[in-house]
């Protein structure tokens, strides 16, 4: 009953452009919508460059590179989502914004379209209730970078119809992801677990327990994590981590999730991680980012 041919992604930032790339590579037509022309231009450039890199490395064929680009459209006009079968929002982690965006999407989308949110921590149930079709709203939580990370965390609410869940699982396999199904609860499975490490790593840095690099190395070599919690925070975005920590503190009523001062300070200074060029590491030196010295960022 549900189709998975035409896709729309709303929000062309870190996640939106990655999701659009993966869908286009999987043979789906995709329109990427953003309110900022600049974000769309950057997203298109990043996708083109990722595909070129993959082609040069022999990971994809030149045919796939050009076919994926042909299947991708960008638009500043939300009307472009009208004929999509599945619309995934990837706008910033702000509940009211997500509700407002999905409410508008709901008004424009065809009745049988499935609406999805890429929220990392907000209530999918609350977002779903901003639409007239909560049974067709689902959480599709992708991971960064989307074309590399294998997991798709599917979040269901009490209202999500079983057919929509089946469709979401099919969608995951069509795009080459492994899906897990999690019931709507603050932080789901992944954000709730992942943020514990990140916040504790920040507290240790604040207390001068060890350097950025040594804290990251502890988790990589001591526990086999592919990347340390501070570098991962740089990739996710410190602003995104802060929003998740605030939301979990409130919703789980657990002080363990309270954002450390260092996180608030760095976000207020615009040190958002890789996307701003500076986070716990300096990303301006692209090849191997240098860890920020303790006295550089925390005074």
Ligand X SMILES: NC(=O)c1ccc[n+]([C@@H]2O[C@H](COP(=O)([O-])OP(=O)(O)OC[C@H]3O[C@@H](n4cnc5c(N)ncnc54)[C@H](O)[C@@H]3O)[C@@H](O)[C@H]2O)c1
| 90 binds ligand X per the rule CB under 6 A | yes
Helical ranges in 123-237 per DSSP H: 124-128, 162-174, 190-206, 212-223, 229-236
In Å, how far are 67, 217, 225, 226, 274 from 222, measured between CA atoms? Answer: 43, 8, 8, 11, 25
* C-beta nearest to ligand X: residue: 13
| 93 binds ligand X per the rule CB under 6 A | yes
- State which residue, 120 or 161, has the beta carbon closest to ligand X: 120
CB 21 within 8 A of CB 103: no
Kindly tell me which residue out of 101, 105, 201, 245 binds ligand X, with binding defined by CB under 6 A.
Answer: 101
Task: Tell me whether the omega of the peptide bond preceding residue 145 falls within 30 degrees of 0, making it cis.
Answer: yes
Stretch that binds ligand X, among 60-68, 139-147, 195-203, 276-284 (CB under 6 A): 139-147
Kindly tell me which residue out of 7, 9, 34, 168 binds ligand X, with binding defined by CB under 6 A.
Answer: 34
Instruction: Name which of residues 227 to 266 contact ligand X (CB under 6 A).
Output: 236-237, 240
As given in the structure block, the two tokens for residue 279 are 């986070």
- State which residue, 7 or 39, has the beta carbon closest to ligand X: 39
Beta bridge partners of 117: 89, 139
| 289 binds ligand X per the rule CB under 6 A | no
Q: Taking the CA of residue 283 as centre, how many other CA atoms within 13 Å lie in the half-sphere pointing to its CB?
A: 17
| 13 binds ligand X per the rule CB under 6 A | yes
Give the binding site for ligand X (CB under 6 A): 10-16, 33-36, 39, 90-93, 97, 101, 118-120, 142-144, 236-237, 240
């Amino acid at each position: 009953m549900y189709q998975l041919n035409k896709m729309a992604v709303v929000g062309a930032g870190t996640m939106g452009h990655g999701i659009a790339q993966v869908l286009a590579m999987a043979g789906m037509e995709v329109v990427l919508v953003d309110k900022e022309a600049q974000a769309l231009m950057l997203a298109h450039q990043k996708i083109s460059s990722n595909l070129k890199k993959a082609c040069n490395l022999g990971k994809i064929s030149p045919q796939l590179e050009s076919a994926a680009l042909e299947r991708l459209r960008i638009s500043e006009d939300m009307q472009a989502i009208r004929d999509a079968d599945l619309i995934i929002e990837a706008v910033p982690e702000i509940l009211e914004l997500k509700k407002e965006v999905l409410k508008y999407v709901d008004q424009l989308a065809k009745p049988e379209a499935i609406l999805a949110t890429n929220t990392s921590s907000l209530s999918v149930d609350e977002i779903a209730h901003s639409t007239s079709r909560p049974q067709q709203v689902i959480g599709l939580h992708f991971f960064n970078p989307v074309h590399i990370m294998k997991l798709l965390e599917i979040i269901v609410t009490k209202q999500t119809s079983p057919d929509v869940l089946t469709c979401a699982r099919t969608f995951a396999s069509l795009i080459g992801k492994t899906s897990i199904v999690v019931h709507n609860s603050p932080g789901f499975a992944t954000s709730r677990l992942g943020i514990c490490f990140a916040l504790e790593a920040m507290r240790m840095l604040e207390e001068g327990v060890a350097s950025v690099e040594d804290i990251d190395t502890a988790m990589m070599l001591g526990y086999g994590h592919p990347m340390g919690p501070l570098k991962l925070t740089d990739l996710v975005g410190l602003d995104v981590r802060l929003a998740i920590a605030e939301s979990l503190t409130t919703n789980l009523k657990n002080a363990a999730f309270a954002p450390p001062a260092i996180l608030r300070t760095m976000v207020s200074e615009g040190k958002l991680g890789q996307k701003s060029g500076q986070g716990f590491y300096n990303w301006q030196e692209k090849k191997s980012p240098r860890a920020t010295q303790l006295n550089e960022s925390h005074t």
